[in-house]
Structure formats: C-alpha cells, structure tokens
Structure 1
Amino acid sequence: MELYACLTARGDALFELCDALLCTDGPVRTLVDLALAPEHRRGHGALYGGLNQGRIDVARLRRALAGVPLPRAADGRLVLAVDVSPWLRPDADTSPDRAFCHTFGRGEGKHQMVPGWPYSVVAALETGRTSWTAVLDAVRLKPGADVAAVTTVQIREVIERLVAAGQWKEGDPQVLVVLDAGYDSPRIAHLLGDLPVQILGRLRSDRVMRRPTPPRIYDPKGGRPPKHGGEFVFGDPASWGAEQAVTTTDTRLYGRATAQAWDRLHPRLTRRAAWLDHDGPLPIIEGTVIRLQAEKLPSGGVNKPVWLWWSGTTASTEDVDRCWQSFLRRFDIEHTFRLFKQTLGWTKPRLRSPEAADRWTWLVIAAHSQLRLARPLATDLRRPWEAPAPPNKLTPARVRRGFRNLRVKTGSPAGAPKPTRPGPGRAPGSKNRHPATRHDVGRVLATGEPYTRPTHHMTGTKPRRTS
C-alpha cells in the first residue's frame, strides 16, 4: 500500500506494471511482454503512458525504503556500498542528457566510452556470501557532474533518512560506506566529517601518501616548518616501515589472505581540481592504509595486492579484518546490477526521455525491495536440474518465481481498468511533420564549459589543409 501511495499520477498503470514485473516468469525482454501478463489488466498504451506521463513521489519512496528492515554486519553495523551502473543508449540520438559511460570491452584491459545514462546506486550489504542487497537510493548522473560531489550529497541524504527512520541511534557503531577505486575517498570522508560515517575505498597501486607532520625541531637557518612527513610510496616497500597491525586469514576462494595496516597516512592536497576553490588552508585528511595480499585468485589471473584507505585511525586487528572483508562484500552490488539488467530488464526499454527512465528505474528498485521482503515467505520452485536450497538461501530470481502465489493472497489496490479504445494515430502514408530533436552526447571541458562541435564537424565538410 505504501508503494501505491507513492504513485501520484497514473498510479494504477504503474502499480500493475510493477506487479507484472514481479510475477512474469523468466527474464524480461521487452515492456510489451509485461503488458501481456495476467497481472497487467491494461493495454500497452497505458503501460507507456504511465512511464511517460506518470509521477512518482520519489522522496516518500526513499523514506519508505529507509524504514524497512535492513541487513547488518555481525557487530550490528550498517554497511553501505556505492557504485555507478550505466544504462547504455548509444543509438538514442533523440534522448537528452546522455553522457559517456565507462564500460569494459571485450578482451583484457579493453575500455570503452559508450553514451548512456549513468546511475549512482546506494545499497546496504549483508554478511556472508550472498547475492542480496537492500537498494536505498538511485540518482542519475548528468553530463559533466562531479561524481564525488554528487556521491557526497547522496550519501548524506541516505544517512539522514536512516537516522530519521531509527536505523541508527546514538551509541551505535558508525555506518561504513564502501567505495571503489573511481571515488576520491579522502575528499568524501572530509565532506562527511559531521556524520556518523566511516569511508572505506580502494586506491590505485601507484599512489603516494604522506606520514604525519614530524615534531618541530629548531633550525638555526630558519625556514618554514614542514607540513607533511615522509613519503609512503605504494610501489616502494622500502618506504613502508613497520606496520601497525598485521592479520592472516585462511579463505576458501583466495587461500591465505594477509592484510597489513599503516596508521595516520594522508594524501598531499594541492590547489587544483576539486580543491581549487577551497577556502582556507588545505586540510590534512588522515586515515589508515591497508594492503591486502591474497595467496591465489579463483580466475587464475595476476595476483596483485589491493590497497584500501579507511577514514579511521588507530586500527586494531579487528578493524583491519572488518575493513577488507567488507570491501569484498562490496561486489555483492554487482549481483544486484546483473539481476536488474538480465532478469528484471532494467535497461531493456527504449525510452526517449530520461524522466521516464527514472520512473522505470524506481519501479525496478521497488520490485527488488518487495522480493527481499518476501524472501522468508517464498517457496523454492526449482527447476529439475537445480539443486535444492534452504528457504533463507534462495536467490532473488528464485524468490521471483513464487511471487505470483504470494500476490494472490495480498491482493492489489489498483482499480479496474476503464473501457476505452485507441486513438486514430497518424494517418497511413502521411509524413511525420514534428520530428524529434536530436541531442549530442553531453561533454564538458576541463574549464567547466560545455563542449561544442567544430563547424566543419557539423556541416560534414573537411577543413581545408594549408601548407
């Protein structure tokens, strides 16, 4: 009922579309297939009308997602993962607000930039090996957006909603936010310093950190005292020094995993890029650097160490183990993205407007949340070739198989469809006199100005060569 209350315009069509998404057997290929489901009592025109002209109270839906029971770590801590997943639209010339999305091409080390709509997603992680996450928020990144700034605002709003919903109280362990290498973890930790949040992010293997400021020693020659200590070069073991904590754990997939931690290391900031307009002196953002080295990789690839930066200091062995194990759990959000795209058909519709894409995205998130809430009630409708699974070990796809049986017991608040007939449309043989506007893929220069194509690119003629 709370989901139905969040659908403020064309709510019946949107709610039945969400029911059809949950009850349809097998992966979703097109939206028209959902219109043929028994749960969707309206035609395909109402389906597209709901996505194009409907309205969703996203603020209320976000508060509802923050108020449901959320998974927690063994110590009762909330662990959040943030990542960006693209909705690729390379051929959608009539769709605005497309940006170049970083994707992995075929082959090792192949990277491609494909036009699409990138979405930043925040999800709560569970403990242990699982494919379940609790998606709490999704924001579409516009072309030229500062990912660190947008992520900071997104995390702040999620934490504030969790506190308002009673998910975090005074005295509880701080919320741990896990980021990948594409985020500026020290900057995000500095911007969220007033919240009960700890930041854990992966760093590149070619980074250089600085040690704490050494004690001031009288120098008869004078001069300004040093602001930073010695260098900590990730690629130079001679600069590491003694570790603060070392842990060794035997894992099933990676063999023996060794984690080393060095305390109070910070990056040396300069007045450029994100810190160009910073007021006052640049801050010193200290944290703990963790080096994780596994004995083997399941894929048999090159076994390289993983470098992590944690915003906390004076880390104990328990803190080090919790950090690197939480980082490995971050990859559970990749299972959620795979479920969204391959099973629930998140990126299958060819919608023109980004607003319609946002409505469909929130319907997919609402459907996934209902699957997670129905997890204890679902029965295992397994295929003959599948192994039996305990009720608490069912994957989201297997819970979805039995959702139609659960829906019969709960009913639907959507009203009955009214009889109608389709409009005449454009007469056969007539030309479209209102062609859709074409939009270039949004690109922003380093100066912050929008990129404009040169004249010779627009006219299709080559520039004249001069000797």
Structure 2
Amino acid sequence: MSIATCLCDVEPNAALARFRRGYHDCLYRRADALFELTDAVLCSPTPVRSLVELALEPEFQRSHGALYDAVNTGWMEFTRLRHLLATTPVPRSAEGRIVLAVDVTCWLRPDADTSPERRFCHVSGYGTASGANVPGWPYSFLAALEPGRSSWTAILDAQRVAPGDDATELTADQIRETLARLIRTGHRHEDDPDVLVVLDAGYDATRLAWLLADLPVELVVRVRSDRVYYTDPGAPVYRRQGGRPARHGRRLALSADQDTWPASEHRTVNDTRRYGRAETRSWDRMHQQLQRHGPWATDVHPDEELPVVHGTVIRLTVAHLPSERTP
C-alpha cells in the first residue's frame, strides 16, 4: 500500500503501520502466513507468474507447504477490509471534492478449464488478434483519484462480476456502499460538494443516474458516438385532434451532421500545449428516449411511464493527439 504524503494528516509511516495492523486483523485463519504472502506479492521485484515462487521471497519466512495451506484454508473478512480501506486518507480535488472512478479489469484465465464462474472478456491486442473474447474473471474496481496528472489512486473496493450479474446494478450498488462507508468514516459530510464519479464508455449513464438519483453524486460518463439525445419539448401544444403532449424535443444524434444539432448553451475555446486548439460545447437538460425492453422492462412498473433522466452532453474536440492518431 502507498500513501501520498500530501494527503495525510498524520505521518505517512504511522498511517501505513496502522493499516498493516488493521489488515492483519482482517485475516481470521492462517493470518500470519497470509500476511507474509501479501508482503511477498507486493515486494517481489518481478511479476508473479507462479505461486511457489513467492516461497523464495525474503518477506515469506515459512515453508512452501505453509504457502499452499494459507491459500487453501486461509480466510479473510472482506467487509472488515472494505471498512478499513475507507478509513485510510482519501484524496480530494482542488475544490475539496471526492472524485471516484469505476472500471472493469479482467484477469484472463484461458487455460483454466476447471475454474468456476469464468466469463468471456473482450480484450484488445491479445496475441495476434485486434479484439478477442477470452475466458477470465472480470473485476469491478472503484478508486479515489488524486488531483492533477498523476497515476496514484486509492483503491476502495473490488468485486468480481459473476456470470448473470447486471453490470449496471453491480456498479450502482458498489458506488452506494462505498459512499456509505465514506460517510460513516467521516470523509464526507452533509455540506460537502457532491461526489464526482467518473466512468468510461460501456456504462449505461442514464440508468446509473436513475439508480443513484437519491445520492449526492454527479456522474461523468464517456458515451459512444452512436448515442441519440433529445431536448425538452418546451411548452405543451394541444391540437384539435387530441393526443398527449410530446415528451421529446429536438434530436441530437452524435453521429449525424453537426448542422442538424440544436444550438449549444455553452462554448469555450482554449489553446493547449499537448492538444493544440481545444473546443468544448455543451447542451443542458438533454435526455434519451427509453424503450420498455432490457432492464427498463423490470426496473419500472408496467403501469408507470418511463422516466425522463436529464443530463448535460459535453463534446470536446482537439486539433491533434500526442500519439499523432486522428483525434
């Protein structure tokens, strides 16, 4: 575990020692062997490719038989570990806001035919294929991001996405439970700014916003270029032939010609060192037209109307990328 010195109210070594004591208390069976095994994984100078190699690390001071016994019969209380992680220093943005990020990382196990609950994981650049589905275990990680251009993150939760799990519901529950732990441990108070949750493409932003509507969170989700959004219809117009008022206004298809888009509410232009001219446009109070199939067939009662979930669509364009790819 690493702790950024600028985030700690106490001396970093003292915070790290406190975490190590708490982590040992989370190990209920074969605790000492599991604790040394964790140190061996973290301190290994090379990638760990086989379990028996860890018995040769100086941090593991037991025989290789104790290593296998710890893996086979050891037991960890994950609920207690999650609470312990929530008590560690949590980074904040410049304005004092907690910024969380959620993403799925796959542990590929193509040769483990007898391993249970494997799923097909879509990966790019695996072997000679540009994109392939490889059997493995996908894990949903939730981390607190440090401000600025840094790769340091504070992992707060990790859950395996089992076959049959609804990834959107699992992500919503993961955010809800993590936020509850941050509130219990005093990292967030009632008058603090909303927690910002950042997600990559592949997440259903509209459904996540609907599932988390009761929480003090704001979602920033990268969306695919084939998505379609609508403005509000404005004042209802009743015609003589009857019919209910329209629920959707002008159409914003991200893949369509920009001349067909409605006018944006905000526009900024800046010159950057890495990307050249950067332009940002945004449209407020946009929503998607939901259909009663998939999760929306069960999330909403058949007698209820499908919700209208508002959000802001932000489009960022740059002149060039550092990798010289087409922006």
- Fold similarity call, TM over 0.5: yes
When residues 115 and 231 of structure 1 are mapped into structure 2, their CA distance, relative to the original with a 3 A threshold, is same
State which of 294, 315, 320 in structure 2 corresponds to 1:296.
320
- Map 1:104-123; keep pairs closer than 5 Å: 104-105=124-125, 110-123=130-143
| Alignment-mate amino acid for residue 159 of structure 1 | L
Indicate if the aligned counterparts of 2:126 and 2:132 stay in contact, CA closer than 8 A. no
- Of 110-119 and 18-27, more deviation after overlay is shown by 18-27
When residues 24 and 302 of structure 1 are mapped into structure 2, their CA distance, relative to the original with a 3 A threshold, is same
- Map 1:275-314; keep pairs closer than 5 Å: 275-277=296-298, 278-279=300-301, 280-303=304-327
Structure with the higher fraction of residues in helix conformation: 1
What do the CA deviations read for 1:43-97 (whole angstroms, capped 9, x no partner)? 1221122122111111111011111111111111111110000011111111110
| Identity between Structure 1 and Structure 2 (%) | 52
User: Which of the pair has more CA radius of gyration?
Assistant: 1
Match of 1:437 in 2: none
Match of 1:250 in 2: 271
What do the CA deviations read for 1:230-285 (whole angstroms, capped 9, x no partner)? 21111231232222111233333222221110111000001001101211211000
Deviation of 1:26 after TM superposition, in Å, equals 3.4
The alignment status of 1:65 with 2:85, answered yes or no, reads yes
The alignment status of 1:265 with 2:286, answered yes or no, reads yes
The alignment status of 1:2 with 2:18, answered yes or no, reads no
Deviation of 1:108 after TM superposition, in Å, equals 11
For 1:16 and 1:168, the matched residues in 2 are separated by: 34
| Alignment-mate amino acid for residue 297 of structure 1 | L
- Of 254-263 and 27-36, more deviation after overlay is shown by 27-36
**Secondary structure of the residue that 2:295 maps to in structure 1?**
helix
The alignment status of 1:209 with 2:229, answered yes or no, reads yes
When residues 144 and 62 of structure 1 are mapped into structure 2, their CA distance, relative to the original with a 3 A threshold, is same
For 1:62 and 1:44, the matched residues in 2 are separated by: 29
Match of 2:238 in 1: 218
What do the CA deviations read for 1:331-387 (whole angstroms, capped 9, x no partner)? xxxxxxxxxxxxxxxxxxxxxxxxxxxxxxxxxxxxxxxxxxxxxxxxxxxxxxxxx
For 2:127 and 2:271, the matched residues in 1 are separated by: 32
- Map 1:306-385; keep pairs closer than 5 Å: none
For 2:128 and 2:76, the matched residues in 1 are separated by: 41
| Alignment-mate amino acid for residue 293 of structure 1 | T
**Secondary structure of the residue that 1:62 maps to in structure 2?**
helix
TM score, norm. by length of structure 1: 0.63
What do the CA deviations read for 1:78-130 (whole angstroms, capped 9, x no partner)? 11110000011111111110110111135999221100100000011111121
What do the CA deviations read for 1:173-222 (whole angstroms, capped 9, x no partner)? 10011111110011101100111111110111111101113211231222
Match of 2:119 in 1: 99
When residues 88 and 299 of structure 1 are mapped into structure 2, their CA distance, relative to the original with a 3 A threshold, is same
- Map 1:27-176; keep pairs closer than 5 Å: 27-105=47-125, 110-176=130-196
**Secondary structure of the residue that 1:203 maps to in structure 2?**
coil
What do the CA deviations read for 1:301-340 (whole angstroms, capped 9, x no partner)? 121xxxxxxxxxxxxxxxxxxxxxxxxxxxxxxxxxxxxx
Unpaired runs of 5+ residues, structure 1, are 304-467
For 1:209 and 1:292, the matched residues in 2 are separated by: 17
- Of 223-232 and 107-116, more deviation after overlay is shown by 107-116
Match of 1:365 in 2: none
**Secondary structure of the residue that 1:259 maps to in structure 2?**
strand
Indicate if the aligned counterparts of 2:238 and 2:245 stay in contact, CA closer than 8 A. no
**Secondary structure of the residue that 1:50 maps to in structure 2?**
helix
| Alignment-mate amino acid for residue 33 of structure 1 | E
Runs of 4+ in 1 over 4 A off after TM superposition: 106-109
Match of 2:11 in 1: none
Indicate if the aligned counterparts of 2:238 and 2:244 stay in contact, CA closer than 8 A. no
For 1:191 and 1:108, the matched residues in 2 are separated by: 40
Structure with the higher fraction of residues in strand conformation: 2
What do the CA deviations read for 1:290-310 (whole angstroms, capped 9, x no partner)? 00101111111121xxxxxxx
Match of 2:18 in 1: none
Match of 1:200 in 2: 220
When residues 87 and 106 of structure 1 are mapped into structure 2, their CA distance, relative to the original with a 3 A threshold, is closer
| Alignment-mate amino acid for residue 74 of structure 1 | A
**Secondary structure of the residue that 1:127 maps to in structure 2?**
coil
The alignment status of 1:229 with 2:254, answered yes or no, reads no
